[in-house]
Each structure stands twice: as C-alpha cells, then as structure tokens.
Copies of this chain bind each other. A is one copy, B any other.
C-alpha cells in the first residue's frame, strides 16, 4: 500500500517559507528520490511526510486519506535521520531492537532480525557498543539498520549513505535496491546528493529548488531531457557545460549545454571549438580536462582512460550534436 499525495503543501518556519507549495504524487511501491541543492527543503519535505513537522498549508494524503494530523507512528513509516538520532544510552543492539519490542515480536525473532540487518551492514561486531564509541560511518549504519529491521510500508531515508566509504556505499545501495525489489509494495522516499545513488536507485527523481519542485521524472528523462537549465546543471557529475554568447547564438539559443562526456577531443583544426587545456583531474578511470575555449568558464571534457594530453596544449573540441541542450533566456529548453 501507501500511495502518497502532496497537494500544494507549504511549510513556514517563523517568517521564513521553506516549502513553497509542492504538488507531488508518489506511487505505491515507487522508489522516489529527492535531490536538490543543500538547504532547498529536502529534509523538511521528508519530515512533513513523516509527520514530525506539521504542514503549514496544503494536504498530505496516504492512499487517498488526508493524514495531515495523523501522528507519525500511525503512518506506517520508518525513517533514517540525517542527524542519525540514535539513543545515546542504548547499545547498538538495543537501538535497533527498540522499535521491534513494541511490535511484540518474540525475543528470537527480534534477535534474528537485528543480527541479520547488522550482518548486512557489517556492524555485527559492534552490537555491544554505545553510539559514542562508534565512528561516523558506523553510526550511520546503525541508523539505517534501525529503520530496516522495522519492515514498514514507507521508508524515508535522509542521506543515508553520506558517511560511508565507496565499497560499503555501493553495497548498501544495492541492499536498499534489493529491499525495494523484494518488497514491491513498500514505497521509498530517499534524499541524497549523490548522483550515482539517485540515478541508480530511483524509479523517479524529484528535483527541488528553493522549496519548489523543479522537475519530476525518471532518471533518464532528467538526464536527457531536463526541463530547465537548473535541472540540466544539477543532474550529472561533473556538471553540464554551459556556454553563452556567440557559442550559444550559433545554436539559436541563449544558453547551450553540453555534458562533459558528449564532447570529444579532436584536432584543433577540424574542431568546432578549440582551446588550451588549463587543468586536468585524473580519476584513474577517467580524466577531466578543463579547456579554456574563450567562454566564461573552462569547458570540462571527460576523457576515458589515461591522461595523454599535457597541460597547456591546444586541442579541439567537438560536441556531439545529438546531445546539445539549448535553453531560453528564462532557462526553459528550446526543443
């Protein structure tokens, strides 16, 4: 169960409107990811859905029933907090088992589920520690563990993986994906700032900007057909290159966007643009070349494999015409 609808929801802190009217439908069993710049209201929105904050105006519906006033525990949700919110006086085991005890699960059942989750998150050797004896990543895993043992109808995750190392992150991400696949009915709402997480986990992504919804769609939609300059710039890492002025005018638009992976390095003579390599970043698997072609900022080009082009050399750049994004003065795409 659990289709979630938000109708013109707003939230105001004091004089400060943080959520500025959001309409969104999250389908039953969907994996919805919220992304957006820091401070745009992702956590707040999550807290509104959880019932921890009261909605200032607008309606929140779970399966068609208005739940604005319903207490969190009656909404059938589990939540991972950005600040972890672990019980400081309880051992890791008890932190995870606490919510289950209520549900009158048997001791064995509780122990089984806690240990399973702990194994999954590689914290089984920490079950006897207090939160303050844990590293940052370990605390975060305890917080995740606490949510997943409870097996609810709606999962709310607020940046659950931000303190984990790459390997663990991939692994936990896969576990969350598996969880989602295994429990088809469970709706998941997930806040992240990690592109990979967003792209790989989401059924749909909602991009927030300053308390408003900017675009909602599948990862591919957002990536390929961003609805605005903002979304284009926000989705994808490294960021899409934006060119204005003459570069854009040549394509009949105000801003021209091209992703780093859609630019190929060619011979300066044959290329549409050319410039000097001013900076390079070597990620091992890829290289990012920063090429100054006369625009405001260098164009970033992704170059697979080893860096072969020395800094300072002049190179030519050819954008892939199929992947050029064109935007109006007001940031809307020209199609």
Residues of chain A whose beta carbon lies under 8 Å from any beta carbon of chain B: 13, 35-39, 42-44, 82-83, 133-138, 140-141, 158-159, 162-170, 193-196, 199-200, 219-220, 223-224, 233-239, 259-261, 281-286, 288, 302, 304-305
Bound complex: CA A235 to CA B283 (Å): 10
Smallest Cβ-Cβ distance to A133: which chain B residue: B13
Contact between B39 and A281 (Cβ–Cβ < 8 Å)? no
CB of A119, distance to nearest CB on chain B (Å): 15
Bound complex: CA A146 to CA B140 (Å): 24
Contact between A170 and B238 (Cβ–Cβ < 8 Å)? yes
7 further contact pairs, Cβ within 8 A, besides A36-B165, A166-B193, A235-B284:
A38-B163, A162-B163, A165-B193, A170-B239, A196-B283, A199-B283, A223-B285
Find A39's partner among B43, B138, B304 (CB 8 Å cutoff). B138
| With A38-B168, A170-B239 as contacts: A163 and B259 at CB distance below 8 Å | no
What would be 29 A-B contacts, judged by CB atoms less than 8 Å apart? A13-B133, A37-B137, A37-B168, A38-B137, A38-B140, A39-B134, A39-B138, A43-B135, A44-B135, A83-B136, A136-B159, A137-B193, A159-B163, A162-B163, A163-B193, A164-B193, A166-B193, A170-B238, A195-B283, A196-B237, A200-B283, A220-B284, A236-B284, A236-B285, A259-B284, A259-B285, A261-B304, A285-B302, A304-B304
Residue from A167, A261, A305 whose CB has the most chain B CB atoms within 10 Å: A167
Main secondary structure of the interface of A (DSSP, over half): mixed
Smallest Cβ-Cβ distance to A18: which chain B residue: B135
Contact between A38 and B284 (Cβ–Cβ < 8 Å)? no
Find A43's partner among B136, B194, B286 (CB 8 Å cutoff). B136
CB of A164, distance to nearest CB on chain B (Å): 6
Contact between B135 and A38 (Cβ–Cβ < 8 Å)? yes
Bound complex: CA A82 to CA B83 (Å): 11
The interface residues of chain B lying within 8 Å CB-to-CB of A166 are 193-195, 234, 237, 239
| With A162-B162, A166-B239, A170-B239 as contacts: A136 and B284 at CB distance below 8 Å | no
Bound complex: CA A159 to CA B194 (Å): 14
Contact between B286 and A261 (Cβ–Cβ < 8 Å)? yes
The interface residues of chain B lying within 8 Å CB-to-CB of A44 are 135
Contact between A169 and B141 (Cβ–Cβ < 8 Å)? no
Contact between A285 and B261 (Cβ–Cβ < 8 Å)? yes
Contact between A37 and B223 (Cβ–Cβ < 8 Å)? no
Contact between A82 and B199 (Cβ–Cβ < 8 Å)? no
Smallest Cβ-Cβ distance to A305: which chain B residue: B261
CB of A18, distance to nearest CB on chain B (Å): 9
List of 8 A-B pairs having minimum Cβ-Cβ separation, nearest first? A38-B137, A223-B284, A165-B193, A82-B136, A200-B281, A162-B162, A261-B285, A39-B135
